[in-house]
């Protein structure tokens, strides 16, 4: 199920995203691609083929297209596969035609985006698929453990892989973590201050719970999302059921999220917990790039 806390359902080329890509081009190209300029005439035409060398989930076609158009709008970029699509070894992703020098100048940056974002989407899909094969409807959510400057793209890749997004940043959702609770003097005072601060903003409120005592206090004060943090399996089950019963009796819609130490290897122990979702930092901070290449002729 995709819940109402989804905040990044699609990638749109806003001025902010376009500027991020321009900065990446400036970082890589700088004053010019001296090797291509030295070896290839400016008007030499050619074709390029971007393809996958392995299985996985594709993500980043739109970004690669934008990179190419900003490097040289005279190069035609024809997408042959789409974001979110399963890839097979040898599968064509895009075809390019135009000045060879420009294609080679954009090559590395296009592949950087495609390889990394496809890696994020592929790892997300593995977690989602594993849960579904176990008969679980739990959603797989990301975290803020992203590559600095790449968060927009990485969170898009999580969605392409079948996951859902947590809050995007510090400004768009309250997330009261354990350190906030301890510094505020407890769950109650922390939530009271957040609810007061939230008047007129209508932001969602989420909070971590370490045990059943903290959970009961959260239910008394109210929240939109409860993160069941580093609980053992039995406590997780009790906590998720307690929230479910509270929602039924109070007519509320508090979501539950399993968080802390969840990996693909131990995912099975959470599959039958009646929670709404599980958050996994590794989706963005420990991902392996997918093997994607470009050949020019």
Domain at 136-285: CATH code: 3.20.20.70
Q: Which residue numbers are catalytic?
A: 108, 145, 177, 208, 229
- Asked whether the whole model's pTM tops 0.85, one would answer yes
pLDDT of the residue at 9: 43
Tokens of 242: 């307690």
User: Domain 15-128+288-296 has what CATH class?
Assistant: alpha beta
For the chain, the average pLDDT equals 94
How far does Cα 86 stand from its chain's mean position? 17
% of the chain residues with pLDDT over 90 = 92
Q: CA 46, CA 59: separation in Å to the nearest integer?
A: 25
Q: CA 37, CA 32: separation in Å to the nearest integer?
A: 8
| Domain residue spans of the chain | 15-128+288-296, 136-285
pLDDT 10s digits, 72-94: 999 999 999 999 999 999 999 99
pLDDT of the residue at 4: 30
pLDDT of the residue at 11: 67
pLDDT of the residue at 233: 94
CA angle 184/189/195 to nearest 5° reads 110
pLDDT band at 8 (very low <50, low <70, confident <90, very high): very low
Sign of the alpha-carbon dihedral angle for 37, 39, 40, 42: positive
pLDDT band at 107 (very low <50, low <70, confident <90, very high): very high
CA angle 235/173/190 to nearest 5° reads 60
pLDDT 10s digits, 195-225: 999 999 999 999 999 999 999 999 999 999 9
Residue 244 has pLDDT above 70, yes or no: yes
pLDDT band at 17 (very low <50, low <70, confident <90, very high): confident
């Amino acid at each position: 199920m995709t819940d109402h806390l989804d905040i990044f359902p699609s990638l749109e080329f806003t001025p902010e995203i376009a500027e991020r890509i321009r900065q990446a081009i400036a970082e890589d190209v700088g004053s010019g691609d001296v090797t291509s300029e030295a070896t290839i005439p400016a008007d030499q035409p050619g074709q390029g083929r971007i393809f996958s060398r392995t299985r996985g989930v594709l993500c980043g076609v739109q970004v690669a297209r934008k990179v190419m158009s900003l490097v040289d709008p005279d190069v035609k970029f024809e997408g042959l596969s789409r974001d979110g699509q399963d890839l097979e070894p040898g599968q064509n992703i895009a075809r390019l035609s135009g000045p060879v020098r420009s294609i080679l100048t954009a090559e590395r940056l296009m592949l950087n985006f495609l390889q990394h974002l496809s890696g994020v989407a592929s790892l997300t899909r593995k977690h989602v698929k594993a849960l579904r094969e176990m008969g679980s409807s739990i959603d797989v959510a990301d975290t803020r453990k992203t590559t600095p400057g790449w968060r927009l793209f990485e969170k898009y890749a999580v969605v392409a892989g079948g996951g859902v997004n947590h809050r995007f940043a510090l400004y768009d959702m309250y997330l009261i973590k354990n350190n906030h609770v301890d510094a505020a003097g407890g769950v109650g005072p922390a939530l009271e201050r957040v609810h007061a601060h939230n008047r007129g903003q209508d932001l969602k409120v989420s909070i971590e719970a370490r045990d059943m005592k903290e959970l009961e206090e959260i239910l008394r004060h109210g929240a939109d999302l409860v993160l069941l943090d580093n609980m053992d399996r039995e406590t997780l089950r009790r906590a998720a059921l307690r929230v479910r019963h509270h929602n039924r009796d109070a007519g509320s819609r508090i979501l539950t999220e399993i968080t802390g130490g969840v990996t693909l290897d131990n995912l099975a122990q959470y599959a039958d917990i009646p929670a709404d979702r599980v958050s996994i930092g590794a989706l963005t901070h420990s991902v392996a790039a997918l093997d994607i290449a470009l050949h020019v002729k």
